[in-house]
Amino acid sequence: MAAENSSGPAQRLDGREVAPGFAAIGISAFTTTREVGSFGLQSGEPVGEVFARWGALRESLGGARLASARQVHGATVVRHVPGWTGWLRADDADGHLSPLPGTAMAVTIADCVPVFIGHRNGATALLHSGWRGTAARIIAEAVDLLAKENAPAVELVVHCGPAICGRCYEVSPDVYAALTGKSVDRPTTVDLRALIADHARALGVREITISERCTRCDNDRFFSHRAGDTGRQLGVMMAEPR
Ligand SMILES: [Zn+2]
């Protein structure tokens, strides 16, 4: 159910799908739901309503600096260091990394995979990984960068959040080949999150979970591009200041 309350910054942010495994290491990680409305900046919704939701999100995070980006289905991960306030919309990037606690990061999602990566030292990374980002191994980029922040792969917690499931996501033979290296002669289904988990394991990650939620199967709770939605939910991550 879409929230139609457009009365401004008093909007509450209730609907969250919490990513497991992070609270115990002082990291807040969740995906927003349809209940709180869309965060998409290109949906045709009145800009004031969308901005009010971003404002409410920041408020709910204690006013923390919030990094986002114009997403281009690439493998670029931007590293954010403290020393600024407000809401950043970085140029073309699909990944964010914060070496220190206190910086919130957000990716917009509607079938692609929000990949949450955290370490107990407070280093975090958050990725938007669709088929292009997955084929380009954006997760390898993030894991490599985290290793330089004293967060080696074997100590990372990884969660693939709500995204289109392996039964719902049918791709062309070209895309299937790009993702799996295998050739098929007709459109074929592929499980992006299973692939990302495989890539993470190959990089040395041990603690990996995958959400049971599918944006398309659970379309009453999440926006889905393939189901025809123009709205977008957010994957959000922040290591609490310590
Ligand atoms: Zn599904």
CA of 165 to the centre of ligand 1 (A): 4
- Predicted local confidence at residue 7, as pLDDT: 41
95-138 pLDDT per residue, tens: 999 999 999 999 999 999 999 999 999 999 999 999 999 999 99
CA of 223 to the centre of ligand 1 (A): 12
Write out the DSSP string of 93-146: -SEEEESSTTEEEEEEESSSEEEEEE-TTS-EEEEEE-HHHHHTTHHHHHHHHH
> Measuring CA to CA, how many Å separate 161 from each of 36, 41, 81, 98, 226?
17, 21, 25, 19, 17
- Predicted local confidence at residue 145, as pLDDT: 98
CA of 213 to the centre of ligand 1 (A): 8
CA of 129 to the centre of ligand 1 (A): 17
CA dist., res. 99 & res. 84, Å (int) = 15
CA of 127 to the centre of ligand 1 (A): 20
- Burial code (b: 16+ CB inside 10 Å, e: under 16) for 196-213 equals bbebbeebebeebbbbeb
CA of 218 to the centre of ligand 1 (A): 7
- Predicted local confidence at residue 2, as pLDDT: 41
Q: What is the mean pLDDT of residues 147-166?
A: 98
Compute CA 104 distance to the chain's CA centroid, rounded to the nearest angstrom: 12
181-226 pLDDT per residue, tens: 999 999 999 999 999 999 999 999 999 999 999 999 999 999 999 9
CA of 23 to the centre of ligand 1 (A): 27
109 within 8 A of 235, measured Cβ to Cβ? yes
- Predicted local confidence at residue 13, as pLDDT: 54
Q: Could you tell me the fold of the domain covering 17-165+199-239?
A: CNF1/YfiH-like putative cysteine hydrolases (3.60.140)
Length of the chain, in residues:
242
CA of 7 to the centre of ligand 1 (A): 34
Q: What is the mean pLDDT of residues 67-80?
A: 97
Local structure of 72: helix, strand or coil: coil
Tokens for 170, please give them. 């049918």
CA of 169 to the centre of ligand 1 (A): 7
Residues with CB under 5 A from ligand 1 (ion): 165, 168, 214, 216-217
pTM of this prediction exceeds 0.75: yes
Tokens for 99, please give them. 């070496």
Please, which residues have CB within 8 angstroms of residue 27's CB and are 6 or more apart in sequence? Answer: 118, 122, 124, 157, 237, 238, 239, 240
CA of 110 to the centre of ligand 1 (A): 12
CA of 99 to the centre of ligand 1 (A): 34
Domain ranges of the chain: 17-165+199-239
For the chain, the C-alpha Rg in angstroms (whole number) is 17
CA of 147 to the centre of ligand 1 (A): 33
6-20 pLDDT per residue, tens: 444 444 457 899 999
Phi first, then psi: what are they for 44, rounded to 5°?
90, -5
CA of 96 to the centre of ligand 1 (A): 27
CA of 162 to the centre of ligand 1 (A): 10
